[in-house]
Amino acid sequence: MKRVLSMLTAAVLLTSALRAAVPDGGSFSSQPGQVDWRATALRARTVCGDIEREKFVATQMSAKVVARAGNVPEYCRIEGFLPSEIGFEVNLPLAWNGRLYMHGNGGYSGEAPAAPYIQLKRDNALANGFATAWTDTGHRASRQPGGTFAQSPVALTNHAYLAVHVTVEFAKQLSAAFYGHAPHFSYWDGCSTGGRQGVMEAYRFPKDFNGILAGAPTLDWTSVMINGLWQQSATKGSGLTVEKLQTVFKAVMSKCDAIDGLKDGLIDDPRQCVFDPHRDAPRCAAGEDDDTCLTQTQADALQKIYDGPPKGPGMPNWVREYPGLEESSVLGANGGAQWILTRDGSPNTLAMMADSWMKYFSFGNPAYDASKFDFIRDPSRARAADEQMNPKPYLKAFNDTGGKMIMWWGWSDAALNPGMGIDFYDRVVANYGLANTQRFYRFYLIPGVSHCAGGYGPCDVDGMPALIDWVEKGVAPGRLGARRVVDGKTVYNRAYCAYPAATRYQGGDPEVPANFQCAQLKTDEGVSNR
Ligand SMILES: [Ca+2]
């Protein structure tokens, strides 16, 4: 009985970890772009229920009209399953702006379509006139929690890349049947797992989307999972608490806020912040151990988090954390996810997910004990799923079809280190050169933003408007707008230069865009035909 209970507890915890790892619905931002996508000039030519009789390739399908509610217009909701076991939802507004919007998953995916953050994304897009599509990626977490589904090769392939592809193809067919023509433009919007899905589409199925918005993509799950285990092991028994991390955050800010030239509570590039927990955080006096200081042991633990696991075989150099994310581990952002530390000392969110990853993705052994993970020997052995799960930096075909991709990342993301994005982008640039890459793929790093959403910085990011302008007007994004909005009021505005350029403050009013400039860095142009 005790074992059953502990398994149930583990299942519940994993499910909450999944929920914790998903983004909110901020991608449309509060600022419109140049394209007015709210113009819904197109009308349905078919009765919603009639779609149900055209079975297409779906193994199960229902189609029902959903009445207008608030700012969400009347639409036809089509849901069912595609071979095999790929749950989908396609929503077609009766008055349509001619565009398809597909949104991504979180964590191990397998969400129910009724999950609030999925509805939020869907409703937001419908309110803007888009048809929407979504897939559970081929399994349901309610029946197969965490990574258990990866025991099935079919389910693993569906989740890794296939489900999104077959769902978007099907959504285009449904649009053609319902409106009399396929979407003029198709867009992807996802963060975390959803970001990975977007980059994967650009790599594997370059014709699926005209525009891809990829927030904080999990480009290398195995490394992220190892880092979760590392942080758990580094902090265990150290007495480091979330309150102490808040103290550390204040010390980081007082040391590094001004290094970008503007004391505004943001560190524009935390890589420039040299912070030594032993020297720069308040040290507890002998025999003292309260929230306002670190003991030697706690400073050691924190240093291990900044350093990341040992960089032996199979461990990329980017796996570490940058100062300035301490606040994001304790804010309760991301649906209460507890990155780095938990209040009760139980495994943190990533470590909990890593337990499942190691069992079902890495070692194919449900009895595997992740607490025994060897940080020197095991990283290169844990990569059984990398080939399927990790997108590769070959995006020539996506560029050739005219596709555009914006990737963005919060510098205070305590779940997924933005270094993972820098590493990937650098590899793409090594293949195609910076100028060629920036013609179709740009990367933005936003300070003070936590994992996909939330944080203490400008979390309202102009992802979709910038992407749509780029795809439909050919207006490449320069600096990407982002703002701090509290209770519906804008506190301040920022705009960030595309990586690898730095956004440099020139003095004067930070609300005036001209008071910032992009400092371009020279990068060798590479050549690749892949
Ligand atoms: Ca600053």
pLDDT at position 331: 53
CA of 257 to the centre of ligand 1 (A): 4
CA of 231 to the centre of ligand 1 (A): 27
pLDDT at position 4: 38
Contact by Cβ (8 Å): 451, 333: yes
Give the C-alpha separation, 335 to 111, whole Å: 15
- Cα dihedral angle (338, 339, 344, 345), rounded to 10 degrees? 160
The angle formed by the CA atoms of residues 138, 142 and 147, to the nearest 5 degrees, is: 60
Contact by Cβ (8 Å): 76, 65: yes
Give the C-alpha separation, 266 to 192, whole Å: 23
Residues with pLDDT less than 70, the chain:
1-26, 29-30, 55, 329-337, 521-530
Give the C-alpha separation, 313 to 222, whole Å: 13
CA of 30 to the centre of ligand 1 (A): 24
Contact by Cβ (8 Å): 19, 67: no
CA of 376 to the centre of ligand 1 (A): 37
Contact by Cβ (8 Å): 410, 418: yes
pLDDT at position 5: 36
Q: Tell me: the pLDDT tens digits for 304-349?
A: 999 999 999 999 999 999 999 888 765 555 555 688 888 787 888 8
pLDDT at position 335: 54
CA of 267 to the centre of ligand 1 (A): 5
CA of 321 to the centre of ligand 1 (A): 19
Give the C-alpha separation, 382 to 314, whole Å: 9
pLDDT at position 332: 53
Scanning 375-488, the segments in alpha helix (DSSP H) are 386-389, 396-400, 419-432, 434-438, 463-473
CA of 253 to the centre of ligand 1 (A): 8
pTM to 2 decimal places: 0.93
Both tokens of residue 83? 């071979």
CA of 445 to the centre of ligand 1 (A): 14
Nearest C-alpha neighbor of 375 from the set 231, 483, 266, 241:
231
Backbone angles phi, psi at 351, to 5 degrees: -65, -35
CA of 489 to the centre of ligand 1 (A): 21
CA of 418 to the centre of ligand 1 (A): 18
